[in-house]
Structure 1
Amino acid sequence: MNQIIINNSSPTKKRARCLAVLGTGSDVGKSIVVTALCRMFSNRGIKVAPFKAQNMSNNSGITPEGLEMGRAQIVQAEASRIPPHVDMNPVLLKPTGETGSQIVLLGTAVENSTAFEYHTRKKSLFEKACGSLDRLRDDFEFVILEGAGSCAEVNLMPNDIVNLSMAEYADAPVILVGDIHRGGIFAQLVGTLECIEERRRKQIAGFIINRFRGDLRLFEDGKKWIENRTGKQVLGVLPWYNHIMIDAEDSVVIEAPGHVDFKSDSLPAVAVIRLPHISNFTDFDPLSRIKNIRLNYIQTPCDLSGFKAVIIPGSKNTRYDLKWLEETGWSDKITAYADSGGHVIGICGGYQMLGNFVHDPYGLEGTPGTSKGLFLLPIETTLKAPKVTTLTRFSWDEICGTGYEIHMGQTVNESNEYLFEVSDRNNVLCRDFDGCISQNKKIMGTYMHGIFDSPLIAKKWLESIGIENPMVSKLSGFAAKDKEYDLLAEHFEKYIDVDAVLKIAEGKYL
């Protein structure tokens, strides 16, 4: 196929400069580097915005306009101290299976598509993404682009809309990020250069090496070798850190849940079932920060009696994951735990699973049909469009909280026992209800994502499952995240040649 090219003639109005952060592979730290740069530039009084032409993730969020976009770009917008906007992530792919995804275009779900069908639409989607980037460049002083996966996938480069082609359209110098923790950092960086054309190599201005463990002085020879071999500067080596908590872009960070050993860990534990199509797992990041509990992602069926509570998270394919629960034996484990008096809460797709049936008459998640639920709440769900995407304010027994909703399910609560009272959606006042709670108050379900970002809501839920004096931070929502962005920028500036990065950003790297 012919390479995607769009005319990038200079408009009359001077547009913002751009810098691209691309990677040697997936999960090497591109999102974190962009987040750090956004806060670093913002700290210098620069009006900066993030941009990722195409994102593939089931970890999404809602803009102030009630539109959907990737969570990583929401995080980066927050680090930039600006409201998130769908132009920052014009194309979002939400995987529904091995070869298919829901396409969210400029914040709205437009269709489900196979990988091949999506491939044939790349040119038109690239044009949409370029339009978004142009609008950002008109409104901001600087735009930092993020790539996806590896920028050197030779079979995909001719139709790439997010890596080197987008950097070329933006006339953006490239910082290439590699992950030393996974090994082979020299092959990662040099191999990436070897896999791309000479003109593409010239786009790359320097390297950042991420996730180093040990004494940085021991890597000085390695740094010099890379610079001598490539003629490009190593801008910095970022040590591994554990003191900063930033929302992750996708579920790669929870791909290998470990075994839970209750004998060696005396802290009360909460389990999150690691569903095949888990979505919005960052719902539980606030729980992971609480020092006197332990949050565990578990994938292999096990005895749940040692846990204070079990969480069934959101899913991008509720019926598939229900079938997985049944086939793996999880359904029996969860229902036995609930029957013995255990606490269970389902979020979004997990809420739907707690009910009696999930109907998909229009085949939104695959073949049309009906799936049996876990029969733990008296609810029944039908999957149908349009997709609900709202920022929502709610209360739980007069304790107020904020969250967001992203779902295509319409759920009927046969008991009229609701969990939350809703006061407004997308800044429109209403009097509505959400979720369901069992008579014994131990089984709960809600469509609301992000409920644990509200400290008082998190504290109430933890106390309801029997955890005494949970050490919930008084910082909530953006205030808690803002502190982490400052810590990230501080860490970044300590180990990166900031002056060199700024020169690259100004186009002075050649």
Structure 2
Amino acid sequence: MNKNTTHLPLPVPGQRPALCVMVLGTSSGAGKSWVATALCRWYRNQGFKVAPFKAQNMSNHARVVPAPGGGWGEIGTAQYLQALAAGCAPEVRMNPLLLKPEADMRSQVVLLGQVDQALTQLPWRERGRHVWPRISKALDALRSENDVVVIEGAGSPAEINLQASDVVNMRVARHAQAHCLLVSDIDRGGAFAHLYGTWALLQEEDRTLIRGFVLNKFRGDARLLAPAPQMLEALTGVPVVATIPRLAQHGLPEEDGAQDAGAGYGAAGAPVQTTVAVVAYPRASNLDEFQPLLNVPGVRLVWARSPAQLHGADWVILPGSKATASDLRWLRAQGLDAALAAHVAQGGRLWGICGGLQMLGEALIDLHGVDGNEAGLGLLPLVTAFDVDKQLLHAEVTMPQLAPPWQALSGLALQVYEIHHGQTRPRGDMVAAGQGVHECLPGLVWQSIDGRILGSYWHGLLENANLLQALLGANAPTLDSVFDRLASGVDEWFARTAASA
């Protein structure tokens, strides 16, 4: 193994418990998730056995992974991708607590992969004593099995209103005696104040765990930063150990999904051939699955929240939703229902995925208080009833026979996953009256009689290279190539100078 030329610590191979490196941020969106992903791949490339960990994630972007004792569970997408970067199988211990927002004041609580109704009903500050034993047990197990555990924090560790009930930031850092890096988004401005203020608000014992500051999303001449890094170190005793350039297209999905609704994005340097509009309703879920579209040359992706933002789209996608009935009401309030009908009438394609599929039908029926009752868009003669139990599945499937304009997908072998409470079926009276629908795969895939509207419960379709090739005639970069490109930057970003070596 080469001599360490970075500011990153190296473990002693085979020594347990594992070295823990924790990525904290001065705010949400500072870059914690993708920096942690880069570190997972970098440590793996050094020959170490690596696992990711985030004690608590708040996100509606989740993946299905094996659960202890069989079956399936959910973890946040960020930890799923970090596990792939680390070269290990994703599992529920890597994100023991997942909070899935259903409204501004309510989140579904998923503990070790499974919905926990009792915890969901508890006030926020009362959950800590119930979940910490499970969180610490999961972390300790990963520490006992690996050389390095790369831990991601949440939000900011200096949210002093939450310190007493903290189970994700400094409580985890103290438990693991982690080597902590504090990341700030310098592109927003005020990065040095953010770093100093965060450090200053921490308790004294926690400050000693902060081993390095990281400036992320820097543009310009790094020499102009001086003397601020030296002044910050004089105030805190903590050095700036990395300056990371602004990577506009690093290739990983944004953890919070659509950052700039309405803006058009696509692979740089390629003329636009296909425009895809994804309707970004307030509780849209699993928007990360559309990241490949951002990386495909010739594709422009628009996050749409108004009828005007659908203009010029070749396809429109209704994505998943954590609150389908509520998002459907929002969609109507924006006038998007009429815009979607007009898009189809004018020959455009419309694709509903999971919650988006449910919206396409005639009605949402909720007898158990899961999501809510609501009239559908009426674009397919389907009815969805919500069950208390959530359907979770990860599988390899074969796409059924589809009619034009989606026929290129027929027969493809695909890796997909399901996360849904709803069960959907054709509305018998409408079908009997001649308002047909092609049920391409019972309970899972439907297509309108004219072929333009496609609906399915399968997530992850666009993450299959063969589907992108069939549908768009092009491929996105593989995840492995994205991970390796990020890891190759770590040596440069965290490099020691001759003076600091």
What's the TM-score once normalised by structure 1's chain length? 0.85
Cα shift at 1:416: 6.5
Q: Contact (CA 8 Å) 1:315, 1:321: kept in 2 or not?
A: yes
Listed as ranges, the matches of 1:242-281 within 5 Å are 242-251=248-257, 254-258=258-262, 267-281=273-287
- Aligned partner of residue 363 in structure 1, secondary structure: coil
Seen in structure 2, the aligned counterparts of structure 1 residues 28 and 303 have a Cα distance that, compared at 3 Å, is closer
User: Does 2:108 align with 1:102?
Assistant: yes
- Aligned partner of residue 82 in structure 2, secondary structure: helix
- Aligned partner of residue 25 in structure 1, secondary structure: coil
Cα shift at 1:460: 3.5
User: Does 2:461 align with 1:417?
Assistant: no
Amino acid at match of 2:449: Q
Q: Distance in 2 between matches of 1:259 and 1:43?
A: 36
Cα shift at 1:293: 2.0
Q: Aligned residues, how many? A: 458
What's the TM-score once normalised by structure 2's chain length? 0.87
Alignment partner, residue 34 of structure 1: 36
- Aligned partner of residue 248 in structure 1, secondary structure: coil
Amino acid at match of 1:449: H
Q: Distance in 2 between matches of 1:242 and 1:160?
A: 32
Query: What does the per-residue CA deviation read over 1:295-334, in whole Å, with 9 as the maximum and x for residues that have no partner?
Result: 1111123273521111011110000000001112111111
Amino acid at match of 1:392: A
Gaps of 5+ in 2: 1-14, 266-270, 400-409, 428-435
Alignment partner, residue 371 of structure 1: 374
**Pairing partner for 1:293 from 291, 294, 299:** 299
Query: What does the per-residue CA deviation read over 1:364-407, in whole Å, with 9 as the maximum and x for residues that have no partner?
Result: 13xxx520111111211111122111112222222221111111
Q: Contact (CA 8 Å) 1:68, 1:104: kept in 2 or not?
A: yes
Gaps of 5+ in 1: 1-12, 422-431, 463-469, 504-510
**Pairing partner for 1:497 from 474, 486, 495:** 495
Alignment partner, residue 482 of structure 1: 480
Alignment partner, residue 383 of structure 2: 380
Q: Distance in 2 between matches of 1:436 and 1:35?
A: 36
Cα shift at 1:471: 2.4
Alignment partner, residue 71 of structure 1: 77
Q: Contact (CA 8 Å) 1:99, 1:115: kept in 2 or not?
A: no
Q: Distance in 2 between matches of 1:260 and 1:245?
A: 16
Cα shift at 1:20: 1.6
Cα shift at 1:281: 0.5
Query: What does the per-residue CA deviation read over 1:44-63, in whole Å, with 9 as the maximum and x for residues that have no partner?
Result: 11111111110000011011
Q: Contact (CA 8 Å) 1:152, 1:192: kept in 2 or not?
A: yes
- Aligned partner of residue 223 in structure 2, secondary structure: helix
Alignment partner, residue 226 of structure 1: 232
Q: Distance in 2 between matches of 1:18 and 1:154?
A: 24
Seen in structure 2, the aligned counterparts of structure 1 residues 154 and 115 have a Cα distance that, compared at 3 Å, is farther
Q: Distance in 2 between matches of 1:260 and 1:40?
A: 32
Amino acid at match of 1:28: A
**Pairing partner for 2:346 from 340, 343, 350:** 340
Q: Contact (CA 8 Å) 2:360, 2:377: kept in 1 or not?
A: yes
Cα shift at 1:259: 5.1
Cα shift at 1:487: 0.1
Listed as ranges, the matches of 1:453-472 within 5 Å are 453-462=463-472, 470-472=473-475
Q: Contact (CA 8 Å) 1:271, 1:295: kept in 2 or not?
A: yes
User: Does 2:483 align with 1:443?
Assistant: no
Amino acid at match of 2:74: E
Q: Distance in 1 between matches of 2:419 and 2:198?
A: 37
User: Does 2:127 align with 1:125?
Assistant: no
Q: Contact (CA 8 Å) 1:61, 1:71: kept in 2 or not?
A: yes
Amino acid at match of 1:456: N
Seen in structure 2, the aligned counterparts of structure 1 residues 498 and 117 have a Cα distance that, compared at 3 Å, is farther
Amino acid at match of 2:80: I
Cα shift at 1:67: 1.5
User: Does 2:365 align with 1:359?
Assistant: yes
Amino acid at match of 2:318: I
Q: Distance in 2 between matches of 1:259 and 1:488?
A: 25
Q: Distance in 2 between matches of 1:102 and 1:71?
A: 16
Alignment partner, residue 196 of structure 1: 202
Percent identity of paired positions between Structure 1 and Structure 2: 38
